[in-house]
Amino acid sequence: MFRFLLRKLSYGILVLLGVVVLVFFLFNVLPGDPARLTLGQRADVTSLENVRKELHLDKSLPVQFLLYLNDLSPIGIHSLAAAKGNMHYLTLAHLEEERILVLKTPYLRRSYQGKKEVWEILTEALPGTLVLALAAMLFATVVGIGLGVLSAVKQNTWMDTGAVFASVVGISAPSFFMGIVVAYLFGFVLSDYTGLHMTGSLFETDAFAGRILNLRNLILPAITLGIRPLAIIVQLTRSAMLDVLHQDYIRTAYAKGLPTRIVVFRHALRNALNPVITAITGWFAELLAGAFFVEYIFGWKGIGKITVDALEKFDFPVLMGSILFTAGIFVLINLLADLLYTIIDPRIKL
């Protein structure tokens, strides 16, 4: 188990390194001057040069990349003056030229626009994205598995045909299109009947009540985000169930006189869940990353929305931090999926 986890973590670190290399060099060729974005359009030449030096923009791109990696890595080289009195640094060794090797928390730098720490921006936005992704995945999992089992048990009936047709439509429709349709239809045209609005976030600020929780705003973006994984889960569950229901041990269970409900849910469904678990864990990670357009359409405050805003404003530290953070979630969830296989299906051995 330890070797398995170590190997998977090693692969994950390589993936994250590849993401850092790709995104860093890709977005550093975009137009826009970070120093001017930091100081504003009326900044003088001297101030701009000072900020460029502070942000290491006066150095070549490979040197900038190495400096960014040094900030990002949990083990880095820093000057003795910079590390002195910093509670986030743990000195490992003293090097030449007043430099030390330190163990530290990864530093994602500061936003060009708001001057806030990128990590602080991400942690403020993360709860909104997590709640949205969890709600969407819960909706997709419960409805998708239910429709998939119903479709398999009622094979070649109108229920089966209807479930398959709905899943094909769900797969074909992109999230940004469905978001616009759902927001307009249920949040505008039928708003008087549904009580829902086109835009809104998990917490809203009232002039008298202060910050209040509004779960009603979660309904439309969660359904929109959950449509595509729901369609995938329906088809995977149906296909796996049809395969399992024709196995010999299922026939034996029926021959013993077990009720259909017990045979379907206790024996067949459990052994059909492996591909479904893969879809659920993979889609949950993708929902965290793919909520960009849905959050933007519904005005939902989350990582997706701040990433789109950072891209519009060329706020590179926020953009880099959010993409790297999302990639890290992908790695962790895929590792969790591999571990869940052995819990759900004891036939699988690491």
Model confidence pLDDT, tens digit, residues 129-186 = 888 888 988 998 889 888 888 888 888 888 888 888 888 888 887 777 888 888 888 8
Give the lowest-confidence range in 162-171, 173-182, 217-226, 288-297: 288-297
Q: Whose CA is closest to 229, among 288, 291, 273, 170?
A: 170
Stretch(es) of the chain classified as CATH 1.10.3720.10: 116-344
Note the pLDDT of residue 211: 74
Note the pLDDT of residue 113: 76
- Residue 348 above 60 pLDDT? no
Note the pLDDT of residue 183: 87
With beta carbons less than 8 A apart as the criterion, state whether 125 and 203 touch.
no
Please provide the CATH number assigned to the domain covering 116-344.
1.10.3720.10
Note the pLDDT of residue 31: 66
Give the lowest-confidence range in 67-71, 146-150, 235-239, 284-288: 284-288
Note the pLDDT of residue 278: 72
- Percent of all residues in the chain with a pLDDT value above 70, rounded to a whole number: 88
- Residue 55 above 80 pLDDT? no
Q: For residue range 72-97, what is the model confidence (pLDDT) as tens digits?
A: 888 878 777 666 655 567 777 777 77
Note the pLDDT of residue 203: 75
Mean pLDDT of all residues in the chain? 80
Q: Which residue has the higher pLDDT, 282 or 276?
A: 276
Q: For residue range 2-11, what is the model confidence (pLDDT) as tens digits?
A: 777 788 788 8
Looking at residues 311-327, what average pLDDT do you find? 84
